[in-house]
Amino acid sequence: MSILIGRKRECERLEKCMKAATAQLVVVYGRRRVGKTFLVNQYFKNKLEFKVTGAYGQPKEVQLRNFGDELNRRSEKEWANPKDWIQAFNYLRNYIEELSDDEKHVFFIDEMPWLDTHKSGFLPAFEYFWNDYGSGKDNLVFVICGSATSWMMDNIANNKGGLFNRQTCRLYLEPFTLAQTREYLLAQGMSWSEYDIAECYMIMGGIPYYLSLLENDLSYVQNIDNLFFRKKAELWDEFEHLYRTLFVNSDKYVQVMECLSEKRSGYTRNEIAEKTGIAANGKLTKILENLINSGFVRASSFYGNKKKATLFQSSDYYTNFYFRFLRNNHGKDEHYWSKALDIPSRRSWAGLTFEQVCKDHIDQIKKKLGISGVLSEEYIWFTRGDEELGISGAQIDLLIERRDRIINICEIKFSSDEFIIDKEYDHKLRNKIEAFKRNTSTKYGLQLTMITTYGVKNNKYSSIMGNQITLEDLFDA
């Protein structure tokens, strides 16, 4: 079994860097807890010639001392603590010169954003080091990593200064898919049903660190009680730590996420400003941009109206679970999740969150539909009703508009058994299709697609569904 489950593509990319004939600057970024450090450590193992990790909230003097201490552990020379970052990288340059020229040497700076403290001069010093020296060392592979995705994007990936166009490899680590989550759990001795894995995914997402805390001698619901609802549970205070370490002025980011957690279809930028009190200016735009880049928010387009404002939706599973169940429930009932199997709030949460799981597995949905090679775009759509005219409102949470002039109207339901379409629901679906035709005047062909856990029960109304996709299909690799 490979330790690096679900990271085959990233490992192949790192292998190319190791075989490259020129110096490599490798940028690894992604959401906190997604496994960036684990990937680098496990892939390179004993090949790291130098590794230093930024310390959260520590001043420049502490960061420089840590840098110097690591250098002394690695080098045969004795180095004094560097007085600034220019000197620190000069020391590093001298250390590299001690190494042989006939093999690759890997250097790793982890949590780089935490090294760039206020007025530290870190980034200019690193830029000068790489441009003046590192980029010319053909046997040098320099890996930089950070969880503060906004900093990594602004200062490294989209750098307009000394590092502009200097990165030779950029790896964005995504959370595990359902299939990768199952593979990981099996490797840890947990042979759970796809239904339980899906519910666990709807709480933790495919975040390897969270999954690593699960215990194989406990059931799925027992694990959730143990990790979230037990007094002083491991993941109870994760929320505050997560946002504080990722974002400057994290209270504003939390305000936005709390706002978005209130409505599944999301809010426009102006609606967010109105509800949070954050001015609808460049500051709010930057907050939303950083949340999107960090994987906490999804920007969704509204079908058929390109002038309509983008809708922003909360897309972080842990955050949504926190606001729904944890914030006001810690310590009240240590077995809350075990006892809440059939309460309305849990059923409602599962239904709404399964829609997000489907949006995160569009590739699997397209594969099942047989359109993997067809270009497509995904949208949401809704229309308000008019009581005076007797027109009902309608909402479609996922539309797949295909280049072959077909639109899949996806109906998404999370059910513990086969889903039953009765007369009332059949009528609702037909009204929804008619409302969509009437309001969009689309000329595309429409296919009604049901995405549910165990499929649709065969009866006289089930034929309305042109396609069916089950939970098993979403687990496809």
Residue holding tokens 């499929």?
A: 455
**pLDDT class for 362, splitting at 50, 70, 90?**
very high
Mean pLDDT of 233-239: 89
Mean pLDDT of 46-69: 95
Structural domain contains residue 344: yes
Is residue 251 located within the same domain as residue 393? Answer: no
Mean pLDDT of 135-141: 94
Q: Cβ of 298: how many Cβ atoms within 10 Å?
A: 18
Structural domain contains residue 250: yes
pLDDT at 1: 35
Burial of 271 (0-12, 13-18, 19+ CB in 10 A): middle
| DSSP-based three-state secondary structure for 108 | strand
pLDDT above 80: residue 454? yes
Q: What is the pLDDT of residues 248-307, one digit of tens each?
A: 889 999 999 999 999 888 899 999 999 999 998 999 999 999 999 999 999 988 887 655
- Burial string for 123-147 (b: 16+ CB within 10 Å, else e) reads bebbbbbbeebbbebebbbbbbbbb
pLDDT above 60: residue 389? no
Predicted TM-score of the model (pTM): 0.92
Mean pLDDT of 347-351: 93
Structural domain contains residue 203: yes
Is residue 342 located within the same domain as residue 467? Answer: no
Task: Give the amino acid at 279.
Answer: A
Structural domain contains residue 116: yes
pLDDT at 418: 95
**pLDDT class for 163, splitting at 50, 70, 90?**
confident
Is residue 12 located within the same domain as residue 57? Answer: yes
pLDDT at 342: 82
Q: What is the mean pLDDT of the chain?
A: 92
Find the range with the poorest average confidence among 130-134, 371-375, 381-385.
Answer: 381-385
Structural domain contains residue 2: no
DSSP 449: E
Structural domain contains residue 3: no
Structural domain contains residue 84: yes
Angle, in degrees to the nearest 10, between helices 8-19 and 36-44: 50
Task: Please check whether residue 26 is in contact with residue 171, taking contact to mean a CB–CB distance below 8 angstroms.
Answer: yes
How far is residue 152's CA from residue 169's CA, in Å, rounded to a whole number? 14
Q: What is the pLDDT of residues 166-198, one digit of tens each?
A: 778 999 999 999 999 999 999 999 999 999 999
Is residue 95 located within the same domain as residue 69? Answer: yes
Q: Which CATH number fits the domain that encloses residue 291?
A: 1.10.10.10
Is residue 45 located within the same domain as residue 152? Answer: yes
Is residue 25 located within the same domain as residue 127? Answer: yes
Is residue 280 located within the same domain as residue 398? Answer: no
How far is residue 63's CA from residue 72's CA, in Å, rounded to a whole number? 14
**pLDDT class for 149, splitting at 50, 70, 90?**
confident
How far is residue 385's CA from residue 377's CA, in Å, rounded to a whole number? 26
Q: Which CATH number fits the domain that encloses residue 12?
A: 3.40.50.300
Q: For the chain, what is the domain count?
A: 4
Structural domain contains residue 1: no
Is residue 441 located within the same domain as residue 305? Answer: no
Q: Which domain holds residue 77?
A: 8-172
| DSSP-based three-state secondary structure for 198 | helix
Q: What is the pLDDT of residues 215-225, one digit of tens each?
A: 999 999 999 99
Higher pLDDT, 325 or 330: 325
Distances (CA, A) of 337 to 332, 341, 351, 415: 12, 7, 16, 18
Burial of 37 (0-12, 13-18, 19+ CB in 10 A): middle
Which one, of 31, 70, 68, 24, lies nearest residue 51 by Cα? 70
Task: Please check whether residue 42 is in contact with residue 186, taking contact to mean a CB–CB distance below 8 angstroms.
Answer: no
Is residue 45 located within the same domain as residue 134? Answer: yes
> DSSP for 32-49?
TTSSHHHHHHHHHGGGEE
Q: Which CATH number fits the domain that encloses residue 427?
A: 3.40.1350.10
Write down which residue in 269, 299, 323 finishes a domain: 323
pLDDT at 390: 59
Is residue 184 located within the same domain as residue 147? Answer: no
pLDDT at 2: 47
pLDDT at 340: 86
Is residue 93 located within the same domain as residue 192? Answer: no
Is residue 232 located within the same domain as residue 303? Answer: no
